[in-house]
Amino acid sequence: MSKTSELSVGAALIGRRESGRWPARMDFLQSASGLFLALFLWVHLFAEASILLGKDAMYRVTIFFEGYYFFGEKYPIIITLFSAFILAFVLVHAVLAVRKIPVTYRQYRVLRDHMKVMHHEDTTLWWVQVYTGFALFFLVSVHIYTMLSQPANIGPYASSDRVVGEWMWPLYVLLLITAVVHAAVGSYRVGVKWGWLPARDAALGRKRLKWLMRGFMIFFILLGLASLTTYVRVGLEDREPGERYVPTWERTATETGARPEVTP
């Protein structure tokens, strides 16, 4: 063998070793990106639930994320940048997860028949992931695009107008349910996949994790629906079109509805 061909064989072998590490990295990245997105979703749902504490509370949360408490000024561009960051995670997660979905009719048929005779909960849960994941491709895209393009239109009135006036509420109901289910089931599956369980005994850990999964699903769907209903209620209030919310502490006496003192 000549020196050059030896070298190229060596390079190919090194290349193979390198590419051989990707299945491990991809499997881990799929779990890690999913877990990060689930955590983000839960924080997001709490943040938007601030409307349940009143319009001022939601206003405070909005300007917090716009950097007001750090820079003394509101920068909606932060929302755009963060949305792009989340979008990147969604893309990575989707690309990695899509590898596992049945791609041919044969695979699809075999899996469906298998599920039909097995009646096996965890297999069915994975199928739930396939469906919700597929739906999220479309639902999340719309939502993130809105956040990328109109970062300044977040607030007690602006968000409510989007929900009601721009007819986003049906999409948000679907997005809420699919995202919460996908995140809860996914987190459970990450737990059993890597053996990160809330008990030493694997069977007990799995059982507990499944209870947590159900609890998270119910809690966050209820929380999300409560928030969404509140935004709908605010959106239905009688207001000037495009009016922005002014927090109580910035209002003049007339705006707060207090009777102006009239000096005789």
Partner 1 sequence: MTGQGEGAARRLTIDILRYNPQDPESRPHMETFELDEAPSMTLFVALNDIRDRQDPSLQFDFVCRAGICGSCAMLIDGRPGLACRTLTSSLGERITLAPLPFFELIGDLSVNTGKWMRAMSERLEAWVHSDADVDLTRLEARMEPELAEQIYELERCIECGCCLAACGTARMREDFVGAVGLNKIARLRLDPRDQREDADYYELIGDDDGVFGCMSLLGCQDVCPKELGLQTQIAYMRRKMLRAALFPG
Tell me which residues touch partner 1 (CB under 8 A). 17, 20-21, 23-28, 99-100, 102, 107, 110-111, 114-120, 122-123, 126, 189, 192-195, 202, 206
- 26 or 57: CB nearest partner 1: 26
Nearer to partner 1 (CB atom), residue 100 or residue 251 = 100
Distances (CA, A) of 121 to 124, 163, 185: 5, 35, 11
Query: Which lies closer to partner 1 via its Cβ, residue 159 or residue 187?
Result: 187
Q: Are 209 and 216 in contact (CB under 8 A)?
A: no
Q: Which long-range contacts (CB under 8 A, 24 or more apart) does 237-241 make?
A: 237/160, 239/157, 241/161, 241/165
Nearer residue to partner 1 within complex by CB, 10 or 242: 10
Which residues are CB-contacts of 16 (< 8 A; sequence separation ≥ 6)? Answer: none
Least distance to partner 1 from the beta carbon of 6, Å? 22
CB of 107 to partner 1, least distance (A): 4
Minimum distance, C-beta of residue 9 to partner 1, in the bound complex (Å): 17
Any long-range contacts for 97-103 (C-beta under 8 Å, 24+ apart)?
97/30, 97/34, 97/129, 97/133, 99/26, 101/130, 101/133, 101/134, 102/130
Quick one: 182 or 189, whose CB is closer to partner 1? 189
Q: How far is the CB of 96 from partner 1 (least distance, A)?
A: 11
CB nearer partner 1, residue 192 or residue 232: 192
Q: In the complex with partner 1, which residue's Cβ is closer, 110 or 142?
A: 110
- Work out how close the CB of 38 gets to partner 1 at its nearest, in angstroms, rounded to a whole number: 16
- To partner 1, the closest distance from the beta carbon of 191 in angstroms equals 9
Min separation Cβ 141 and partner 1, Å:
25
Residues in the chain: 264
